[in-house]
Amino acid sequence: MPELIPGLAGVPAAESAVSFIDGQKGLLAYRGHPIQVLAERSTFQEVAWLLLYGTLPKRAEFDGFREQLGTRREIPERMYDVIRALPGNGHPMDALQACMASLGMFSRHTDFRDASTADEAITRILAAMPVMVAAFDRIRGGEDVVPPRPELDTAANFLWMLTGEEPDELAARVLDVALILHADHTMNASTFAARVVASTEADPYTVVSSAIGALTGPLHGGANERVLDQLRDIGEAESVEAWVDGQVAAKKKIMGFGHRVYKVKDPRADILQGLAIDLFEKLGRTPLYDTAVTLEDEVVKRLGDKGIHPNVDFYSGIVYSKLQIPIDLFTPVFAMARTAGWLAHWREQMVDNKIFRPAQVYAGVHDAEYVPIDER
């Protein structure tokens, strides 16, 4: 009888060169490049190329990639009909999953092992994700869809389509860095789901749709939404100590703290905290930030020796809220970024593919007696 390891914790499921984590040191790197360097010096579109193709792009490669992402933001007109048919009170993540599956139906299903076909699908998916998120938000609010602008980068175009206003340069840069930070994170639940579906040789639209489905679960995506709700429930910074007393006494989870991998502060949380400060200096301070800093100090003082520190979700909600992104779009923004990683893992899975078929530990009965229905 094989040993059961719940959640496959610590069990290698694939060999990958996409990203690397050292949870003891608080290290995250994409293709060998530390996340701090990429956040400071790169852009999301450049990082997407790095994840997908293994190296930082040359100027000609990047210019071509950027142009394709811009021109392929034009989704089929009937895709907007699909979005209008969705219930406006539904969660945007459910809408995004449905839209991605629908987009695949509008696209040519050919041999995705062909490099040019795969590249076309990659840019079409990456380009369409922000468009579909912004379009759903506009349509559910009774507003006209704002046409995409091919000359803008991914983050700036998303803010433009969301608000219809020229994006602030700092706001666009902050969102761009946030997308970099969320672009990949080794074998998390949604990436594993993507690789499992990819191993069946499903098309990349189905792979990404499946990964979006995994990200809708509250144990994976959406934590930044609950962090913001938590901070609002706490209120003033002066209320933090008593609130933490109550949570610890009741053995309740404190959202935004702890990680399955990191035993120190998540490096992405440090970067997001710096972005929040930059935003506040230009756009005005958010009172919830003072509560967040006080909460971090209090929790780390009590639980830091147990490896409980802020994770990426702790400050991301504060940043997104300051960018005036609706709270239920936080996880779709996560998905917009992580699509680059999902597609990188799809490409990697296809190199030497073998379908996933894990074993199980059977816990049922044997030799059960069949009783006719009238005698039961």
Known catalytic residues are: 259, 313
What is the Cα–Cα distance from 92 to 140, expressed in whole angstroms?
10
Question: Pairing relation of β-strands 27-30 and 19-22?
Answer: antiparallel
List all residues 6 or more positions away from 67 whose beta carbon is below 8 Å from its beta carbon: 150
Q: Two tokens at 92?
A: 């945007």
List all residues 6 or more positions away from 172 whose beta carbon is below 8 Å from its beta carbon: 153, 155, 156, 159
Q: Two tokens at 157?
A: 């175009």
Contact 83, 132 (CB under 8 A): yes
**How many Cα atoms occupy the beta-carbon half-sphere of 34 within 13 Å?**
9
Q: Two tokens at 23?
A: 């949870």
Helix axes 169-181, 330-351, angle to 10 degrees: 50
